[in-house]
Amino acid sequence: MGKLKDHQSTLAINQFNKSQVICENNSEECKIEKKKK
């Protein structure tokens, strides 16, 4: 069980990091992402 949870949180962190990069590269896309949350 623990391993699966670790994997899921790693994926979540990776997704977050990717969205941060997109945010820096494309501020318009960043605004859309922030509105979603």
- Residue closest to 36 by CA, chosen among 23, 9, 17: 23
Q: Tell me, what's the pLDDT at 4?
A: 78
Which two tokens mark 17? 């990091």
Question: What are the extents of the domains in the chain?
Answer: 2-35
Low-confidence residues in the chain, pLDDT < 70: 1-2, 19-26, 29-37
Nearest-angstrom CA–CA distance, 31 and 9: 24
**Model confidence, pTM:** 0.40
pLDDT at 33: 59
* Residue 4: partners with Cβ closer than 8 Å, 6 or more residues away: none
- Report pLDDT for 2: 67
Numbers of helices and strands, H then E, in the chain: 2, 0
pLDDT score at 17: 74
